[in-house]
A and B are shown apart, each in its own frame.
Chain A
């Protein structure tokens, strides 16, 4: 599975910011937001990843290695190609002060609702998303996006 990351790196050498290679836990390639769509198209058309299993947002600002960024991770999978069973993920990091990034909904329609959730919970704006509305929170929610580390639940 790490071969996938190597191929991505060979093709988009300047785009890869960081990588995590652990066959058992997670194989992850972090790219810059500008190159995200290119890499996603490559992973879909050449590598055969045909759907997104989840889109995870992570607020990196309180980790031991502090970064004032939000990481958006696309967990990829394939129903059509044999052997793609490991946990492969494509991710990107956006600035917390101005969280804008391109959408991947047109590439993988399966991430439409996942991106809406990340928009709602982290405030990340997916440019080009066909239907970027709130999803789970009540209509009267006026606070900051609740999954950011600054948000403290009441009573804690």
Chain B
């Protein structure tokens, strides 16, 4: 009898022998590192009979706000729901507006945008694993992830001017070009960190932006090997996540799962490949998929995705052509021709969909955001049913659910 079958047997015995001993408990509202969220769980003994996710504690009415702001001033506030992956949430909006306007960004912008999106994907995944580690009692992961993330965030701030919320994407390109050189101080800092972590000297005698980016990417790629040994190949982590919260392929399709959750269940679906946009068709990268669909697989798929993102950034800085980065400076009261458009991108947490409708005015008539986290709610409800209370944190964190993004 495998562990999985045994667990199933125990679960069934408990599940059907409820009697009147069930208890409804409010699990939260709390701030588990990501935003306020509550689960209403019905428990019997140690078993969750039913979980009812209750989002909405950080609802800000972004969609309503978007109807009152102009097309351009919408960009900075639409990135607020998920600041760690603000490129991910702006990207689809900007693509949808471009579709309505009937414009294409210049070639260079088509490479700068994926660089930004992938940098933030890595940053967002690092944040995910940092907190995943903390919630499973593995504080080293937290410190490592945040230490390394710093240099990727520095790159983001060099390109976009801000560490996380940069409002870098505009209809018809990006706001500004990437710098030619990085500050001398940053290279010094990075060399010091490099020596501290690897014990070797970094031979980087230039402040060239391209070379610095490649150096950071190469360092991070090596660093992922350490993560594997420390966290993913760690008995503690495996014991808590292997065969926990198994999502079958059929259920993943039926419940409309997204992102790493979907791919861990064996479905190779990634908008960067299936529905490519900007320069993504020009990059060579893999879409990692899992086989079992448990919490461990979901984490490993996320881990492998970081490696692919590094590949994309390194290719993009090499392939990036010279030239303008935006069509023209749009006025703040830009008018967009009437119509409706949908755009989808692969944000860090999965598929981001925007429906944008215009009636020809200087403000959108309707902006609908369908964030990946919101689409994970039925999955969470399904996975928690019949689990032990102690398995709620691993399952919750394995989904990479971000309450603020789901609530908007």
Contact = CB atoms under 8 A, between A and B. Distances in A.
A142 to B, nearest CB: 16
Contacts of A63: 359, 365
Contacts of A156: 68
B351 interface: yes
Interface string B296-322: 000000000000000000000000000
Given A54-B370, A58-B366, A63-B359, A135 B56 contact: yes
Interface string A39-69: 0000000000011111010110011100000
Contacts of A137: 56, 59
Contacts of B99: 24-25
Interface stretch (A9-17, A72-80, A94-102): A72-80
Nearest to A24: B99
A121 B62 CA distance: 12
Contact of A25 (B68, B339, B368, B370): B339
B100 A25 contact: yes
Q: Interface SS of chain A: helix, strand, loop or mixed?
A: mixed
A109 B378 contact: yes
A58 B357 contact: yes
B341 A50 contact: no
B contact face: mostly helix, strand, loop, or mixed? mixed
B347 to A, nearest CB: 13
A111 B275 CA distance: 22
Interface string B364-408: 011010100011011000000000000000000000000000011
B360 interface: yes
Given A53-B256, A54-B355, A153-B61, A25 B56 contact: no
A53 B254 contact: no
B78 to A, nearest CB: 16
A20 B340 contact: yes
A124 B115 CA distance: 41
Contacts of B375: 53, 110, 113
A33 interface: no
Interface string B199-225: 000000000000000000000000000
Given A54-B368, A153-B61, A156-B68, A85 B274 contact: yes
A89 interface: yes
Select the residue from B63, B342, B370, B378 with max chain A CB neighbours within 10 A: B342
A50 B254 contact: yes
A26 B342 contact: yes
B168 interface: no
